Structure 1
Amino acid sequence: MNRMTLKSANDLFNQGKFENAREIYSRIRSQGTKNYEIVKQLGKIALFSNHFKEAENFLKEAIILEPKKEEPKILLTEVFYRQDKFQEVVSLLQQIGKEEEVKRFKSFKGILPNQIKGDVEFTKIDFIKTDPLPIIKLKVNEDKVVNFFIDTGAAETILDKKFAEDLGVEIFFSRKGTFAGGKKASVQFGKINSITLGEFTIKNLPVVILPVRHFSELVFGGTEVDGIIGTTLFYHFITTMDYVEGELILRRKNKTNLSKIDQEIKEKKMFEIPFWMAGDHYIVAWGRVNKSKPLLFFVDTGLAGGGFTCPESTIKEAGIDLLTDQASVGVGGGGKVQTIPFIVDKLSLGAVVEYNIRGVFTGGTSLNEVLGFQIGGIISHMFFRKYALTFDFIKMRLILQKKTSASNISIK
């Protein structure tokens, strides 16, 4: 095996060029090489693409080659988790000694997690507010009508801590989480019976518990919010956030709905942008800032009132001027964060281009350290404000339909 070739594949992976890396890893493997690093990386890339059987096979092979290594076991838990195969997750967590997490997943034995009920193919839920982030009304446990905001920067559905206490949600374990600006906060993990969005009820949900109600005043001008809808719920549907019409559309993941969307793409000349998903919710796709080289962006819709944030390396790469005289204190999941605004002259995601997008710089821990590959920034709310944004986790693509000029945007 050529060590330089393996190094070049690893370098491509670290740059976020997953398909290029996969080609080299596969070529080396086809030469009969049995190498832990190669099959583990092939498993990881397959997971990022939601190619579950392929990911499972590679990661199981990696475990056979290096039984004491934790990483392929952790990746394999994610493969099973995304498919709601929680009892397979239990076995792997036990192998790596994560007993506190085992208890929560064991509690789903004999029931189907994230079970979708409803006699419809799709449902629409109006936004109560669209700015600074979309808020929808939903039911928790079939009787509590509450407001949640939408944020793909979250993974599992999040309940406010006090709201969860009032519901009597069982807490299985807690740990520290990292939020905007690198802030840390305690995160609790539980489950609820159901949530109802429009005409769909999703039963047996794993949930995260955090203080959320403080966003009501600080972010939403007094509109009370009791939770957050994140990416985990989104990927159980073909999900559209229509910022212009002010509605969330959930479609069942099936061939009929997929065919209808493919037809709409042709008729309405929508944009298709491939994406990958790392970890439990990191949707990443290629874009550019100003005249930068291509950069991989995390599609996190939860930057209230903003369209972009990035590390210092991108500030320099894109020649962005920070408006330091306008620095202020914002709020994230971990508490207060200092924010410095800036304006991006030109921001693109795939072939979609927008101009004069407001951004904020918060510093803190780079996502590179969390994900193991380079992230150029987070693209968010105001970039998508003129569009209907669809997440298709079957074909792993974002679909954007531009619906109006800026002057015609409806405000809710």
Structure 2
Amino acid sequence: MADDRQADGRQWDRRSVLRGAAVLAGAAATAPLLGGAATALAGRADADALFKAGKFEQAGRAYEKILKTDPKNVHAARQRGYVGLLSNKFPDAERYLKMAIELAPDDKDANRFLADCYIRQDKLALSAPHWQAAGNEGSAKLFAAFRGEPYQIHGDIAQVSLTQMDPKPLVEGVSVNGGPLKRFTFYTGAPELQVSATVAKEAGLSPVVSSKMDYLNGRVWRYGGVLESFKLGGIELRNLPVSWMEWESGGDVDTDSDGMIGMWVFYHFLTTFDYAGRQLILRRRTPETAGKVRAAAQRAGAEPLPMWLAREHGLHSRGSVAGVAGSGTGVVGVLFGGHSEVAGIVKGETAKQLQIRIDHDRPVETFASSHPAVAYPCYPKEMRLGDVAANGIYCFTNPNSPLAPNGFDVPAAFFHSFHKPNNVTLDFTDMNLYVARGPAT
């Protein structure tokens, strides 16, 4: 399980159950992308500039050029591996990340990237020593505990209704370890499957790892373990990571649902978030189902958008945000589910440069990554993802959010409310995102 502060080893997992507008932290703390096309030049500064601008393929070639003349360049090897990982090109990612680790065995980022590379391929045990080297002892211990094939998929499709849309989406009919049916929410800004402390007890879960941490305005115990069975509609997953939390004083942290489905579940399927049709659809990933998705997208006029996955669960695509002074177009964060009424976030610097209207008179005291944060309502002239756009929509801007925690600039992140008129399908094999207005067909 990914660690927000893995460098110092104090925390074993990412905070992911949300309150209020905690989704401000999202997958994409944002930054402006206002310049013209970057030129692919060799040299670290130019390669890094290409990467920062979201020109990943060009950056990859520039890092390769560096390595031809300087084969012991750890930074170039690590970054080239990261470029491969963003697009789920696992052979490339493994080759260059192993090269970086051979040159610098204690490089925490290279080890974390390689651990993530193995996680995405369901090679959980292989990831353990790299989590350890990255300073994430809890994840190392958890994934070393897995035996047999993880994420075993039984069934071909789960098509379940969204029984509630706000303040967060809910699906019913979830069974944990064969137990009674439960209500679950979902959020792609979180990694693993989560259950409540009550459900964990009912399901007979035993923690493999545990830690105490600050959460919202209190302290919680967080546990990680191995779940035998998770069933949703016609799909059952077996042998998968799970986490749960309880207050230090005891009791469930979240009483609005029985658990939350995170990104690690969704990227095992062709996943459709059919907001307009109020349903969640999970299909087994096969050439046939992928072909049907592409055909449906073509009928709806939806062109495939590129998709990138950063830091275990940070989903990105290509989009734009516009203001009075122009448009920031490039890599954007894309999140589904969660707990927020806003359509997205716009980085404070971007909002300022684009002259997006900000309501400074009405600060919102909220939480970001479970820590207190102050945001301000803002209203971009347009937010666009593919052919789908929203004009003057209600967003937040957080002037204190980090510029580029994943190493590349992002002008905006698109949240739950933006997607309501649409259906969106995520294809993690070809790394394409399809978005269209109206219900899925």
Give the TM bin, normalised by the shorter chain.
0.7 to 0.9
Residue ranges of structure 1 left out of the alignment (5+ in a row): 217-223, 405-412
> For residue 382 of structure 1, what is the aligned residue in structure 2?
417
Q: Taking structure 1 as reference, are residues 26 and 97 closer, same or farther at Cα in structure 2, changes over 3 Å only? A: closer
SS at match of 1:324: coil
Q: Deviations over 1:74-121 (max 9, x none)?
A: 211111111110121123345556443332112212x22111112xx3
Distance in 2 of aligned mates of 1:377 and 1:168: 41
Displacement, 1:32? 7.1
CA separation in 1, counterparts of 2:370 and 2:350?
A: 24
Q: Report the CA distance between 1:142 and its aligned residue.
A: 1.4
User: Could you say which residue in structure 2 is the equivalent of 1:345?
Assistant: 381
1:242 and 2:274 are equivalent in the alignment: yes
Question: Shift in Å at residue 125 of structure 1?
Answer: 0.7
Q: With structure 2 as the length reference, what TM-score do the two structures score?
A: 0.80
Structure 1 376/89 Cα, relative in aligned 2: closer, same or farther at 3 Å? same
Q: Which residue of 1 aligns with 2:242?
A: 207
How far is 1:33 from its partner?
Answer: 4.2
Post-superposition offset of 1:124 = 0.4
**2:178 maps to 1:159:** no
Aligned to 2:75: 37
Q: CA deviation at 1:273?
A: 1.2
Q: Pick from 323, 326, 332: which aligns with 2:359?
A: 323
Q: 1:87·1:105 contact (CA, 8 Å) conserved in 2?
A: yes
Q: Is the partner of 2:142 in helix, strand or coil?
A: helix
Alpha-carbon distance change, 97 to 336 in structure 1, aligned in 2, over 3 angstroms: closer
Q: Spell out, residue by residue over 1:369-406, the C-alpha distance to the aligned partner (whole angstroms, 9 max, x if none).
A: x32222323211121111111111111111012117xx
For 1:274-353, what aligned pairs fall within 5 Å after superposition? 274-290=306-322, 291-301=326-336, 302-330=338-366, 334=370, 337-353=373-389
Question: Do residues 46 (structure 1) and 78 (structure 2) align?
Answer: no
CA deviation after TM superposition for structure 1 residue 335, in Å: 6.2
Residue 339 of structure 1, CA deviation? 4.2
Alignment of 1:64-213 (within 5 A): 64-95=102-133, 98-109=136-147, 111-118=148-155, 121-137=156-172, 138-174=174-210, 187-210=222-245
Seq. identity, %: 28
- In 2, are the aligned partners of 1:358 and 1:382 still within 8 Å (CA)? no
2:17 aligns with none
Q: Distance in 1 between matches of 2:396 and 2:109?
A: 34
Considering Cα pairs closer than 8 Å and 6+ residues apart, tell me whether 1 or 2 has the greater RCO: 2
* Mapping 1:251-262, distance limit 5 Å: 251-262=283-294
- Judging changes above 3 Å, is the alpha-carbon distance between structure 1 residues 42 and 4 closer, same or farther for their aligned structure 2 residues? closer
CA contact (8 A) 1:292 1:317 kept: no
- Return the alpha-carbon distance in structure 1 between the equivalents of residues 41 and 304 of structure 2: 37
Q: Any idea what the Cα deviations from partners look like across 1:256-279, whole Å, max 9, x if unmatched? A: 111111222222211321111111
**Residue matched to 1:58:** 96
1:30-70: CA deviations, max 9, x gaps?
A: 55744222221111110111011111111112222223323
Say if 2:320 and 2:327, in contact at 8 Å, map to a contact too.
yes
Is 2:162–2:169's contact at 8 Å kept on the other side of the alignment? yes
Q: Please give the per-residue CA displacement for 1:143-171, whole angstroms capped at 9, x wherever unaligned.
A: 13211112111111122244434544322
2:28 corresponds in structure 1 to none
Q: CA separation of 1:214/1:323 partners in 2, compared to 1, >3 Å: closer, same or farther?
A: farther
